[in-house]
């Protein structure tokens, strides 16, 4: 196991035996606390992740130069140190259990130590006096392995920034119950520590090797007594939750197009045992627990396995919004590399096969890479007839022969199937009274399971490459007791989510690209909407251009460019007059071009929705030219966005792409929405570009000018923008 830079430390090995594994671990040395000096968001960290053992054998330490997490392993296992090594910040103030499980009405702690009286801080020597709890799950051993890909993604079909995920070290801690009623239930708590990023992914797995059915009423997979950041004596008013950790799990939904509003598992609670806190009524939200609140009863039969949500814990170095967003975007690239795939696609509205063939030809002629047959078209995925499948296979074969990938649209939610198959309201017992989208089928119903199997069959039989799904549902509960995919309301959300996750994983393993309606990135979706209001596409094109740039600016704080899609109504979308659409294309070339440039300039694919990409040779050349420019700068345009100025229609607006690992360290896009030419001198922040002394800057393909960076890593850039025009600058 390569833990450190060569020659840095003479490693002493200890041989241990854990759950049948014979493993060798290096001994911890405190000098490792200060190995990394550089900013990991700018310069790669050349320290490998690993697991150490303390010299006295009582502690195990997870470490990668950026984060250190220490576990006392006797007389039970508990986390005693969780530290950001770049800032020196201690994240926890007290020991907690590793997990908590409610089984058949009784609650059990997994690991944990007792005896800490002062809960505001944890002295190093206190752990030696702690004791194990009675009747809980006790630590029995561990194993260490390399991190394995969560999804075996076939990355061969589409362009992507990252084709493989991050590397790292995984340690699994094993626990057995003391309660005879749980005999045979094995619990594993797993930590995955990644190289080069202060990220730990935690999960818990239960295996029922006993002879009894166990009802899991709640599985809390993470418990942390966090050091608070704010105190207030009074009992009224919110107190800020700790911000040293960014928490995200793979159990998120509600159609918000943003994780914080989609989160279903992060719970900040108070801690009544922390009696020395400033809050007189002990109301400080300083205890983190992770669990899906609506999952209240999962039956584990003998032989069953239950895997918890996967909690991503990303340590933050500060409070700056841009820095925090960059860290989150880096996390996605490491743990979910499929989100970096970003094919250039058209959104076709078709009435017949001939229109599909024509659109395929136009995509091939202009440099597009994919065609998605949009909603409102003549493709019907639910037609399982042999004739229909053969028809679309022939069209897919034609597209592939032209070098074009092809995709399709499918509606799940927002419709009723039947009283027997729709979600049943837990309160009224009636269908479609509780669904998020007013009405929706249950994924665990007979129709829902048929739908899943039919989607798989369609992709197997036709060879299609992209699935744009409107649904599955965003967490609907279902009180049916006759649906084969779940037992009742207690497990309905969990079972439906697992059906969906399995389908997404299956599609990824076959290289199918997924446009999904919600925050399912960590389970295999590739792209969602950037965030927009549909009725805005009825507005005049002048409005749309500015609104789209606002959506781009607002939607890329935590999403990479490849994770969101925009929209361009080539033809009417939900109303609006001739001033709201691009057709006839040749009559609105200026607007068509700018809409393309501002989306591709952000690295964002838009749904160019209509029957064609061009109508004249001049239009064809414009489209091909923009695509050629995008492909030339594709790497930097798909890199992180630094937000410069939000569009407001009053002055210039723009954003900056940065990537320290490329020749082009930065690329600025600037727009002028006003009716007058403007000349401005603006400070451009280049810290995250990796440039530190000078920057060679050229406007478009012009001659470069060398700028000396200011002490704050900025340059003073002077530029001119024509009325209603745009420009771009490359930095090397």
Which of 212-231 are b and which e, b meaning 16 or more Cβ less than 10 Å from the residue's Cβ? Answer: eebbbbbbbbbbbbbbbeee
Give ∠ CA 429-434-436 in degrees, rounded to 5.
160
Q: Does 11 have pLDDT greater than 70? A: no
Task: Count other C-beta atoms under 10 Å from residue 261's C-beta.
Answer: 11
Per-residue confidence at 8, pLDDT binned at 50, 70, 90?
very low
Does residue 409 have a pLDDT over 70? yes
Helices and strands in the chain, H and E counts? 9, 38
pLDDT of residue 473: 72
**What is the model's pLDDT at position 6?**
33
Report pLDDT digits (tens) over 250-292: 999 988 899 999 999 999 999 999 999 999 999 999 999 999 9
Paired residues of 729 in beta bridges = 668, 699
Closest Cα to residue 150, out of 137, 168, 135, 133? 168
pLDDT band, very low/low/confident/very high, at 12 (cuts 50, 70, 90): very low
Pairing of strands 311-315, 305-307: unpaired
Instruction: Report the pLDDT value the prediction gives residue 227, as an integer from 0 to 100.
Output: 97
Structure confidence at residue 433 as a pLDDT band (50, 70, 90): confident
Peptide bond into 584 cis (omega under 30): yes
- How far is the C-alpha of 145 from the C-alpha of 15, rounded, in Å? 15
Question: Which element (helix H / strand E) includes 169?
Answer: strand 168-177
Residues 6+ away with beta carbon under 8 Å from 357: 395, 398
pLDDT tens-digit map of 496-527: 999 999 999 999 999 999 999 899 999 999 99
* 252 contacts 259 by C-beta, under 8 angstroms: yes
Q: What does the alpha-carbon distance between residue 473 and residue 483 come to, in Å, rounded to a whole number?
A: 16
pLDDT tens-place string over residues 589-621: 999 999 999 999 999 999 999 999 999 999 999
- Predicted confidence (pLDDT) at residue 15 exceeds the cutoff of 50: no
550-582 confidence digits (pLDDT tens): 999 999 999 999 999 999 999 999 888 999 999
Extract the runs of DSSP E, i.e. beta strands, from 221-358: 222-226, 245-249, 266-269, 287-290, 298-300, 305-307, 311-315, 345-348
Residue 89 to residue 546: CA distance in whole angstroms: 42
- For 434-481, the DSSP string reads S-TTSS-B-TTSHHHHHHHHHHHHHHHHH---EEEEE-S-SS-----S
Preceding omega of 75 cis (within 30 degrees of 0): yes
Round the CA-based radius of gyration of the chain to a whole number and report it.
27
Residue with tokens 């608070």: 228
pLDDT tens readout for residues 640-679: 999 999 999 999 999 999 999 999 999 999 999 999 999 9
Q: 566: exposed, middle or buried (C-beta count within 10 Å: 0-12, 13-18, 19+)?
A: buried
The answer to whether residues 570 and 335 touch, using CB atoms and an 8 Å cutoff, is: no
Sign for the CA dihedral angle at 581, 583, 589, 592 comes to: positive
**159 alpha-carbon distance from chain centroid:** 19
**What is the DSSP secondary structure assignment for residue 30, as one 8-state letter?**
G
pLDDT tens sequence across 89-126: 999 999 999 999 999 999 999 999 999 999 999 999 99
- 546 Cα distance to chain centroid: 27
Q: What is the mean pLDDT of the chain?
A: 94
**Which 3 state secondary structure label does DSSP give 589?**
helix
């Amino acid at each position: 196991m390569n833990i450190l830079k060569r020659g840095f430390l003479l490693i002493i090995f200890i041989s241990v035996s854990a759950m049948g594994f014979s493993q060798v671990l290096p001994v911890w040395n405190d000098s490792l606390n200060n190995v990394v000096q550089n900013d990991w968001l700018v310069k790669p960290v050349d320290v490998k992740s690993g697991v150490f053992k303390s010299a006295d054998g009582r502690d195990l330490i997870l470490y990668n130069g950026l984060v250190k997490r220490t576990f006392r392993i006797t007389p039970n296992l508990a986390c005693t140190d969780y530290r950001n090594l770049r800032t020196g910040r201690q994240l926890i103030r007290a020991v907690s259990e590793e997990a908590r499980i409610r089984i058949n009405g009784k609650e059990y702690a997994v690991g944990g130590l007792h005896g800490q009286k002062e809960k505001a801080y944890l002295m190093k020597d206190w752990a030696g006096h702690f004791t194990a709890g009675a009747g809980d799950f006790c630590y029995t051993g561990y194993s260490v392995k390399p991190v394995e890909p969560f999804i075996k993604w076939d990355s061969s079909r589409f362009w992507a920034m990252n084709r493989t995920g991050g590397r790292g070290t995984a340690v699994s801690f094993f626990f057995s119950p003391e309660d005879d009623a749980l005999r045979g239930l094995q619990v594993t708590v797993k930590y995955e520590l990644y190289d080069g990023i202060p990220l730990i992914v935690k999960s818990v797995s239960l295996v029922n090797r006993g002879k009894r059915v166990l009802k899991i009423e709640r599985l809390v997979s993470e418990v942390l007594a966090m050091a608070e950041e704010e105190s207030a004596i009074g009992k009224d008013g919110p107190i800020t939750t700790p911000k040293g950790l960014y928490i995200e799990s793979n159990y998120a939904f509600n159609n918000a197009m943003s994780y914080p509003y989609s989160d279903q598992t992060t719970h900040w609670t108070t801690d009544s045992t922390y009696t020395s806190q400033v809050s007189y009524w002990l109301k400080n939200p300083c205890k983190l627990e992770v669990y899906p609140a609506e999952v209240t009863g999962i039956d584990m039969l003998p032989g069953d396995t239950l895997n918890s949500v996967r909690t991503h814990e990303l340590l933050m170095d500060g409070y700056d919004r841009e820095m925090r967003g960059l860290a989150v975007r880096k996390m996605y690239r490491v743990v979910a590399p499929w989100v970096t795939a970003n094919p250039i696609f058209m959104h076709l509205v078709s009435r017949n096969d001939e229109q599909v063939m024509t659109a395929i030809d136009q995509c091939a002629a202009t440099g597009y890479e994919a065609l998605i047959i949009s909603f409102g078209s003549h493709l019907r995925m639910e037609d399982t007839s042999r004739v229909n499948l053969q028809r679309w296979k022939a069209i897919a074969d034609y597209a592939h022969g032209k070098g074009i990938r092809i995709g399709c649209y499918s509606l799940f939610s927002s419709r009723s199937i039947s009283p027997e198959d729709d979600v049943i309201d837990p309160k009224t017992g009636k269908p479609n009274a509780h669904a998020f989208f007013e009405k929706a089928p249950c994924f665990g119903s007979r129709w829902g399971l048929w739908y899943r199997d039919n989607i798989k069959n369609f992709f197997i039989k036709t060879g299609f490459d992209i699935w744009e799904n409107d649904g599955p549902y965003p967490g609907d509960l279902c009180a049916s007791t006759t649906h084969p995919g779940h037992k009742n309301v207690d497990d309905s959300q969990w079972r439906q989510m697992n059906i969906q996750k399995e389908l997404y994983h299956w599609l990824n393993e076959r290289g199918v690209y997924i446009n999904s309606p919600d925050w399912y990135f960590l389970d295999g979706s590739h792209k969602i909407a950037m965030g927009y209001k549909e009725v805005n596409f009825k507005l005049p094109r002048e409005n749309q251009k500015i609104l789209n740039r606002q959506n781009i600016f607002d939607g890329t704080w935590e999403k990479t460019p490849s994770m969101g899609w925009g929209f361009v109504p080539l033809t009417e979308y939900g109303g609006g007059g001739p001033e709201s659409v691009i057709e006839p294309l040749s009559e609105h070339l200026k607007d068509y071009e700018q809409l393309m440039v501002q989306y591709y300039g952000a690295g964002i694919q838009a749904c160019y929705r209509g029957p064609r990409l061009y109508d004249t040779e001049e239009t064809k050349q414009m489209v091909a030219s923009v695509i050629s420019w995008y492909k030339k700068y594709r790497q930097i345009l798909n890199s992180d966005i630094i937000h410069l100025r939000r569009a407001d229609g009053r002055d210039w607006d723009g954003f900056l792409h940065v990537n320290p690992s490329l020749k082009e360290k930065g690329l600025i896009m600037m727009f002028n929405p006003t009716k007058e030419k403007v000349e401005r001198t603006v400070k451009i922040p280049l810290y995250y570009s990796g440039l530190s002394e000078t920057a060679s800057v050229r406007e478009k393909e012009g001659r470069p000018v060398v700028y000396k960076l200011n002490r704050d890593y900025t340059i003073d850039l002077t530029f001119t923008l024509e009325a209603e025009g745009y420009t771009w600058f490359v930095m090397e």
